[in-house]
Structure 1
Amino acid sequence: MTNRITETSPRIFAKVAGFGLLLMAMHAMFANFFVLEGLIIPGDAATTANNIIANDLLFRSGIISFIIVLLLDVVVAWALYIILIPVNKNLSLLAAWLRLIYTAIFGIAIYHFLNVLELLSGADYLTVFETDELHAQVMLSINAFSNIWLIGLIFFGLHLLVVGYLAFKSGYMPRILGVVLMVACFGYLIDSFAHFLLSNYTDYEAIFLLIVAVPGVIGELFLAFWLLFKGRSNLLTLNSESYRIR
């Protein structure tokens, strides 16, 4: 019975991580590109607030999708930790902690969207703020979400760097996957620091988006599909003793 569990464990971890990454991608795309891009108008607080009020359920659905992503991040961090133990247990643990730190910061960022809901749904706030002030408070909370998330993405980028290095050194994962993940790390780092350093970031926003999106999407989807379709069999060739948690 013990042998059967240790033999199937790598397959289970690969499935968990692969499906988790794909589900995260779907929910993140919905929340980012369908909800946020459709409702939030940069520099126009009044229109943004009115859009959210008129599409309250959609906005709430976006928050739920982000929370699902947050929960899946924890699951994926655990699964990748198990999968990468045979390469280097300490670095695998570091990668997991970096992703968990990112997840905690992301959770703090999501809280600011809950604050937006309170501002726009609480009648008592109208007695405290004038309409313009209320809209400005909403936009401040939305900007706080973005800025805090950017800080979190620095840790996420470092997580990809460690995972990419471990994939490159593993011998059972494609080296090109490791390279793409490490490149994606620098994409996240460059974009996050550019937000904070460049006062005219918006002038180059499209370029930075490509720097982040292309290697990031390719790397994470590559990892997800490898885990689902190739990783399950590759991981079973490893010594099952490597997967015993001590």
Structure 2
Amino acid sequence: MRLKSRNARVAGIYYLLLAIAAPLRLIYIPSVLFVQGDATKTASNIAAHETLFRLGIVTDLFSGTIGIFLALALYRLLKDVDQKQAVLMVVLGVIPDAIYFFNVLNDAAALILVHGADFLSVFEKPQRDALAMLFLRMHGQEIAAAEILWGLWLFPLAILVYRSGFLPRFLGVWLAINGFAYLALSFTGLLLPQYEDVVSRIAFPALQGELAFMLWLLVMGAKDLPATRSNE
């Protein structure tokens, strides 16, 4: 297998692992355990499905780790296109991964409150449940903030893909649109949360840019150019 194609498929594998792991805590666990506006029911669900909730914490840590390897794999693939843009891509790509590690503290705090450890006996159970819900909400707000960085890192990646010559240009365009969609979702969630579901439905096709890019890396790889291209 040629070098470019091998590097592309390695990046695709990391992307696939991230796509498998991240939705567990991001989408599945909130949909089955969290009850909007009901702290007591949410706390009961977490206590009854503690293993699933803990698995969400583990997958957040796993996703953060894989995200770092993904950024480095894409740097190795695209650094010869434009090293400055590649470095910017890595910086913007790694910062959200740090948020994954920091964000597990909110879930850990919620789990401790749900358990009602002895040192928390000064709080009544409804108070502990409310505090647990608060930490879960903080987790969600940090994800909304991280979406800004999820969007920003796609812009240098889109430029690199578009200019590479060994990946299709339409993927670069789609990744840029995907970046704008993440920014729209983030600002809507932070400023106008009542419209978040509407914006999410509208933005859904744009958000498939990363999926298309991942599948192209896995299936098609990248073609080797006769000479290394470099942009100062």
TM over 0.5: yes
CA distance in 1: counterparts of 2:42 and 2:119, whole angstroms: 17
- Contact 1:106 / 1:152 at 8 angstroms: preserved in 2? no
2:225 to 237, 242, 246: 237
- Check if 1:138 corresponds to 2:126: no
Q: Which amino acid aligns with 2:201?
A: L
CA distance in 1: counterparts of 2:119 and 2:41, whole angstroms: 18
Offset, 1:180: 0.9
Offset, 1:112: 0.8
Structure 1 residues 125 and 184: CA distance shift in structure 2, 3 A = farther
CA RMSD of superposed structures (Å): 1.9
- Contact 1:14 / 1:231 at 8 angstroms: preserved in 2? yes
CA distance in 1: counterparts of 2:149 and 2:53, whole angstroms: 27
Offset, 1:237: 3.1
TM-score (norm. length: structure 1)? 0.86
Structure 1 residues 192 and 241: CA distance shift in structure 2, 3 A = closer
% same residue: 33
SS of residue in 1 equivalent to 2:121: helix
- Contact 1:187 / 1:215 at 8 angstroms: preserved in 2? yes
Pairing 1:128-167 to 2, within 5 Å after superposition: 128-167=122-161
CA distance in 2: counterparts of 1:211 and 1:17, whole angstroms: 28
CA distance in 2: counterparts of 1:120 and 1:33, whole angstroms: 21
- Contact 1:70 / 1:107 at 8 angstroms: preserved in 2? yes
Offset, 1:175: 1.1
- Contact 2:64 / 2:101 at 8 angstroms: preserved in 1? yes
Q: Unaligned regions of 5+ residues in structure 2, if any? A: none
Which position in structure 2 is the counterpart of 1:11? 5
Which position in structure 1 is the counterpart of 2:36? 42
Greater helix percent: which structure? 1
Q: Which amino acid aligns with 1:51?
A: N
- Check if 1:75 corresponds to 2:75: no
Pairing 1:90-105 to 2, within 5 Å after superposition: 90-105=84-99
Offset, 1:31: 2.6
1:205 to 196, 203, 220: 196
Offset, 1:213: 3.4
Deviations along 1:72-127, whole A, 9 cap, x unmatched?
Answer: 10010000111111210010110011011111123212221111122222422441
Structure 1 residues 129 and 228: CA distance shift in structure 2, 3 A = same
Structure 1 residues 31 and 238: CA distance shift in structure 2, 3 A = farther
Which position in structure 1 is the counterpart of 2:172? 178
CA distance in 2: counterparts of 1:225 and 1:77, whole angstroms: 17
Q: Which amino acid aligns with 2:205?
A: V
Q: Unaligned regions of 5+ residues in structure 1, if any? A: 1-6
TM-score (norm. length: structure 2)? 0.91
- Contact 1:113 / 1:145 at 8 angstroms: preserved in 2? yes
Offset, 1:170: 1.6
Q: Which amino acid aligns with 1:223?
A: F
Deviations along 1:158-206, whole A, 9 cap, x unmatched?
Answer: 00111112111222211111111111111111111112222xx22x232
Q: Which amino acid aligns with 1:136?
A: A
CA distance in 2: counterparts of 1:153 and 1:146, whole angstroms: 11
Structure 1 residues 38 and 87: CA distance shift in structure 2, 3 A = same
Query: Which 10-residue stretch deviates more, 92-101 or 27-36?
Result: 27-36
2:162 to 160, 168, 178: 168
Which position in structure 1 is the counterpart of 2:184? 190
Offset, 1:16: 1.9
